[in-house]
């Protein structure tokens, strides 16, 4: 498969993550006619239809005319029930099944559909909407090389992807980059609020917070230096940055971050048992 121009992609569930992926795919040149989505929520369907001009359906089985790829973009809580709903359509067409759901394993999807199906479990994140996603992918044994290339083409359209050799690594990716944008947004929210307390206007604080985050992220991406070296370059001895970093260290920010990422990893593991 050399091109995405003939692919037919069906999204089951058209919420935040599906919207990020659909937006990213359209930005990369897929046409609206190649993509469709189903969702029981009327408001959600209207939003997706108005924003992306793709076909939307209330019935999950209404858009299964020989799709190449079915993207499962529903919450882990409803995955089992949704797969029972679409099982017959999927078994008729045998598309590549790509799941974006946190915690749900390929073994569960095989058990709920068929062990013969090609299933890729992925963990994208919402920056996929602007082509800046960070994505981990794990393929079950049925996935053929051509299907792997197809998955890469889709994920490359919305960001940077890596294949994982062990499925347990998807939980770690979930804790790192799947949930990660929220960690950075939270940090930025607090930074902005602190700057407002120091007397900046809300507008200036918001602008400077965002530009600082973007600048730091781009510098980290483009530089050959380690994150530690880049941090040290900002930190003059006995200067302002050192004062701030000392305050973080006194609160053991490294332990706080480690505990938070461990908690997300653990939640990813327990999700699969909870909704089995
Ligand atoms: N939001 C994020 O940053 C990320 C989310 N994910 C995963 O993506 C999946 C979706 O999450 P979000 O998009 O954030 O949630 P969401 O709640 O925005 O979207 C889920 C959509 O599924 C629809 N839905 C509910 N029952 C359905 C059914 N029976 N058939 C079809 N659609 C149904 C809902 O109406 C909703 O629009 C989850 O499994 C989550 O773990 C993965 C990576 C990042
Ligand atoms: O919070 C969640 O469970 C999903 C998975 C990763 C990001 N959002």
Assess whether the C-beta atom of 122 lies below 6 angstroms from ligand 2: no
CB 132 within 8 A of CB 108: no
Pick the atom of ligand 1 nearest to 82's CA.
Answer: 29
Assess whether the C-beta atom of 136 lies below 6 angstroms from ligand 1: no
ipTM for the complex? Answer: 0.98
**In a structure prediction context, what are the per-residue pLDDT tens digits for the chain, which is 276 residues long?**
446 778 899 999 999 999 999 998 999 899 999 999 999 999 999 999 999 999 999 999 988 777 889 999 999 999 999 999 999 999 998 999 999 999 999 999 999 999 999 999 999 999 998 999 999 999 999 999 999 999 998 899 899 999 999 999 999 999 999 999 999 999 999 999 999 999 999 999 999 999 999 999 999 999 999 999 999 999 999 999 999 999 999 999 999 999 999 999 999 999 989 989
Please choose from 16, 62, 121 the residue to mutate so as to test ligand 1's pocket, defined by most ligand atoms within 8 A of CB.
16
Ligand nearest 126 Cα, by number?
1
Is beta strand 133-139 parallel, antiparallel or unpaired with respect to 119-123?
A: antiparallel
**Which residue minimizes the CA distance to atom 29 of ligand 1?**
82
Assess whether the C-beta atom of 38 lies below 6 angstroms from ligand 1: yes
Assess whether the C-beta atom of 99 lies below 6 angstroms from ligand 2: no
Secondary structure (DSSP) of the chain: ---STT--EEEE--SHHHHHHHHHHHHTT--GGGEEEE-S-HHHHHHHHHHH--EEESSGGGG-SS-SEEEE-S-HHHHHHHHHHHHHHHHHH-PEEEE--SS--HHHHHHHS-TTS-EEEEE--GGGGGT-EEEEEEE-TT--HHHHHHHHHHHHHHEEEEE-SSTHHHHHHIIIIISHHHHHHHHHHHHHHHHHHTT--HHHHHHHHHHHHHHHHHHHHH-SS-HHHHHHHH--TTSHHHHHHHHHHHTTHHHHHHHHHHHHHHHHHHHHHHT-
Assess whether the C-beta atom of 20 lies below 6 angstroms from ligand 2: no
Q: What is the pTM of this model?
A: 0.94
Ligand nearest 58 Cα, by number?
1
Sketch the domain layout of the chain as residue ranges: 9-170, 180-272
Q: Which of 3.40.309.10, 1.25.40.80, 1.10.3730.10, 3.40.50.720 would CATH assign to domain 180-272?
A: 1.10.3730.10
Output the pLDDT for position 65. 77
Assess whether the C-beta atom of 37 lies below 6 angstroms from ligand 1: no
Output the pLDDT for position 3. 64
CB 172 within 8 A of CB 265: yes
Q: Does domain 9-170 have CATH number 3.40.50.720?
A: yes
Structural tokens at position 173: 């990716």
Distance 46 CA to ligand 1 centre (A): 16
Distance 22 CA to ligand 1 centre (A): 13
Phi-psi region of 207 (alpha: psi -120 to 50; beta: other; left: phi over 0): alpha
């Amino acid at each position: 498969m050399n091109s995405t121009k003939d692919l037919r992609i069906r999204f089951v569930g058209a919420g935040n993550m599906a919207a990020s992926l659909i937006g990213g795919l359209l930005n990369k040149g897929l046409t609206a006619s190649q993509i469709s989505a189903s969702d029981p929520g009327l408001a959600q369907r209207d939003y997706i239809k108005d924003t992306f001009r793709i076909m939307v359906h209330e019935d999950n089985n209404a858009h299964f005319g020989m799709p190449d790829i079915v993207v499962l973009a529903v919450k882990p809580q409803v995955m089992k029930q949704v797969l029972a709903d679409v099982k017959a359509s999927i078994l008729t067409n045998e598309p590549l099944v790509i799941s974006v759901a946190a915690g749900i394993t390929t073994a569960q999807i095989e058990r709920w559909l068929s062990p013969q199906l090609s299933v890729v479990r992925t963990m994208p994140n919402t920056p996929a909407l602007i082509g800046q996603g960070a994505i981990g992918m794990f393929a079950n044994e049925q996935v053929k090389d051509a299907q792997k290339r197809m998955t890469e083409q889709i994920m490359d359209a919305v960001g940077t992807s890596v294949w994982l050799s062990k499925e347990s690594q998807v939980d770690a990716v979930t804790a790192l980059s799947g949930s990660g944008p929220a960690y950075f947004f939270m940090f930025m929210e607090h930074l902005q609020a602190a700057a407002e307390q120091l007397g900046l206007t809300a507008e200036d604080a918001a602008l400077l917070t965002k530009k600082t985050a973007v600048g730091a992220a781009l510098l980290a991406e483009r530089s050959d230096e380690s994150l530690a070296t880049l941090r040290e370059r900002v930190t003059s001895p006995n200067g302002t940055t050192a004062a701030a970093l000392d305050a973080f260290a006194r609160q053991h920010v490294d332990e706080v971050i480690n505990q938070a990422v461990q908690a997300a990893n653990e939640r990813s593991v327990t999700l699969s048992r909870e909704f089995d």
